A and B are shown apart, each in its own frame.
Chain A
Amino acid sequence: MKIIKNLALGVSFIMSTQLVSAASTGTTLETVSPEADRIALQNFYKKRFPNTELQDYVNGIYAVDADSRTQWEDIEAFPPYEFDVEEGERLFNIAFANGKGYADCFENGGIGIRQNFPYWNKEEGTVKTLEQEINECRESNGEKALKWGKGPIAQISAYMAWTSRGKVFDISIPDGDKKALAAYLDGKKFFYSKRGQLNLSCANCHVQGSNIRIRADLASPALGHTSHFPVFRSKWGELGTLHRRYKGCHQDSRSNPLDMQSETFRNLEFFQTYMSNGLVVNGPGSRK
């Protein structure tokens, strides 16, 4: 199996008291500039981890922590998600009761299109994710929706990602579309806002705290967070979707987590994937 990797190994730094200014543009519709935000975030990591190549951020924590990378490479030699990709392909190709299938719902028969998600849907005025459209495809063909976090939906998503490996994310925010920009901004604010009893933002751990130990855990850089989902996580012992992970991390701040595929989580995925524009699809992935 071809795994996207780059042998430039990361060096870890301890910089806990450094002030983080990765959110360089504003938090209002008038002042926010997604492209400037993306460049600022990438520059932040370039400075923080000068030995890590940009393309390597699709590998999460393993892009910056040499120790855990070796273990992970051993795991990837016999990928734990292999069965799920095969099962996903089988599920993808089973026809619905009405004779149609997933291939009829997506561009290019659903093959090699993972990099186009999530995207701004102007007609519906909302961000659409791949998992959301998998379920919409089912429902519009008279089938029941699947559960969001794991199982068949993650397997189908894994197969679709598998057929798209190496394709470049290029999420766009249509020029002059204020609603699309507002969705991006909602995701950005969610990422940087402190919340919960522990008063933690996503950025606390994944920007300023990235690759610094919280007990025995190392949080990954936020860049590339969305590239490799769904993920086979050893702790879960199975495959799970991005929104399952969002829910868990949201809960870790001692908050009541939002629902998977809620509008704000979709906006968060929109923001995070935009930040990763230029990186490639390498899902499904495996993580500790």
Chain B
Amino acid sequence: MRKLTTSMCVTGLVALLATSPASALTVEESIAEGKAVYMGKSRGNCISCHQINDPDANLPGNQGPPMFAMAQRFPDKRILRAQVWDATKNNPISIMPPLGKHWILSEEDIDAVVEYIYQF
């Protein structure tokens, strides 16, 4: 009986966690957050290497390809996310930092930046 209560509590906790902040973001909020990650020097700093057709993108670099036709080129969003998480998987000498693998961005930040670039 005691065991059952504990496991019920755990289930309850897990359920609570699952609905906590990250997934509570609306798509708009997530895109806004992703934009901040994209532009932020101490965050993703994607803009230092990738052009993007956003009027707020100031002095983008061109080390990597422009963020263009993303939904068409990456029908499977998970493949896009994997590229952001660890670019060295596709190209071991890539200049692109492994943003997830090296804990440069949180998993939530990566989800957000993927949502943001997916619009372009």
Q: Point out residues on A near B: beta carbons under 8 Å.
A: 14, 16-17, 19-20, 194, 197-201, 203-205, 208-209, 212-217
Contact = CB atoms under 8 A, between A and B. Distances in A.
Interface string B43-72: 001011100000000011111110000000
Interface residues of B, number: 20
Contact of A208 (B49, B60, B95, B97): B95
Given A197-B102, A215-B48, A209 B95 contact: yes
Contacts of A212: 61-63
B62 A197 contact: no
Interface of B: 45, 47-49, 59-65, 88, 91, 93, 95, 97-98, 102-104
B47 A215 contact: yes
A14 B62 contact: yes
A20 B45 CA distance: 24
Nearest to B91: A17
Q: Is the interface of B mostly helix, strand, loop or mixed?
A: loop
B95 to A, nearest CB: 4
A205 B48 contact: no
Given A212-B62, A214-B48, A216-B59, A197 B95 contact: no
Contacts of B60: 213, 215
Given A198-B104, A213-B61, A215-B49, 7 more contacts: A194-B93, A197-B97, A198-B97, A199-B97, A200-B97, A205-B95, A214-B63
B11 to A, nearest CB: 37
B104 A215 contact: no
A148 to B, nearest CB: 29
A209 B93 CA distance: 11
Contacts of A208: 93, 95
Contact of B61 (A19, A200, A201, A215): A215
A212 B64 CA distance: 9
Contacts of A201: 93
A19 B59 CA distance: 26
A198 B102 contact: yes
A227 B48 CA distance: 28
14 contacts: A16-B62, A16-B63, A16-B64, A16-B65, A17-B65, A198-B102, A198-B104, A199-B102, A204-B95, A205-B95, A213-B60, A214-B48, A215-B60, A217-B61
Nearest to B41: A215
Contacts of B48: 214-215
B49 A214 contact: yes
